[in-house]
Amino acid sequence: MGQVTHDQANLLLRLYELRREPRMRQAREWFIRDFSANSIEEVFQKYPPGSEENASFRMVSSYWDMCASMVNRGLIDDEFFFEHGGEAWLVFDKTRQVAITQRKAMGNPLILKSLEDMGTRMEAWRERTAPGFNQRMRERLAQFAAARAQREKAGKPGKAGKAKRA
């Protein structure tokens, strides 16, 4: 376990504070609940440019890519971030195939690369510290997606009730 500095702790707290901004919170909620795509083409098909969903996808993925860049450069200790940044892994996992196709389509090997590099390390760290957890999370997320699809098929709202959060 690395020695965490006050500056690292303050930076992590600041990153969490940014997540509380209302539009970011809305984007994160949508992303976790509804985002599902395996290629950049599918992203554009399901969430066309100019749509609220496309803006949310870009907001969430670029936010976590920026956070990952800070971790990758040592501004925040890996383990300290991994202990508290589970959502970053979720975004990495949900975007990994999209990133590959987007890099190829755009000719830019750096698209979401910081998130991929950090997410790969985080995944290995989680497997060392909690063997099987990554797979159980994927299974749980798949169950949530199946339940949402079932609700939508039955004509029931796909959103959970809106709880007021700080």
Query: Which residues, 6+ apart, have CB-to-CB distance to 5 below 8 Å?
Result: none
Q: What is the mean pLDDT of the chain?
A: 91
Q: Is residue 158 part of a domain?
A: no
Distance between CA 72 and CA 68 in Å, rounded? Answer: 6
Q: Is residue 166 part of a domain?
A: no
Q: Which two tokens stand for residue 38?
A: 């395996």
Q: For 19-28, what is each residue's pLDDT tens digit?
A: 999 999 999 9
Distance between CA 103 and CA 40 in Å, rounded? Answer: 9
pLDDT for the residue numbered 164 = 40
pTM, two decimals, is: 0.87
Q: Is residue 65 part of a domain?
A: yes
H/E/C letters for each residue in 123-138? HHHHHHHCCCHHHHHH
As a whole number of Å, the CA-based R_g of the chain is: 16
pLDDT for the residue numbered 38 = 94
pLDDT for the residue numbered 161 = 42
- Per the structure, how many domains does the chain have? 1
Burial 93-110 (b: 16+ CB within 10 A, else e): bbbbebbbbbbeeeeeee
Q: Which two tokens stand for residue 159?
A: 């959103």
pLDDT for the residue numbered 157 = 58
State yes or no: pLDDT of 144 exceeds 90.
no
pLDDT for the residue numbered 165 = 41
Q: Is residue 141 part of a domain?
A: yes
Determine the structural domain holding residue 22 and report its residue range.
7-153
Q: Is residue 1 part of a domain?
A: no
pLDDT for the residue numbered 1 = 60
Give the mean pLDDT of 141-165: 70
pLDDT for the residue numbered 162 = 42
pLDDT for the residue numbered 110 = 97
Q: Which two tokens stand for residue 11?
A: 């930076």
Q: Is residue 162 part of a domain?
A: no
Share of the chain above pLDDT 70, in %: 92
Give the mean pLDDT of 93-117: 97
Distance between CA 47 and CA 62 in Å, rounded? Answer: 16
Q: Which amino acid is at 15?
A: L
Q: For 28-77, what is each residue's pLDDT tens digit?
A: 999 999 999 999 999 999 999 999 999 999 999 999 999 999 999 999 99
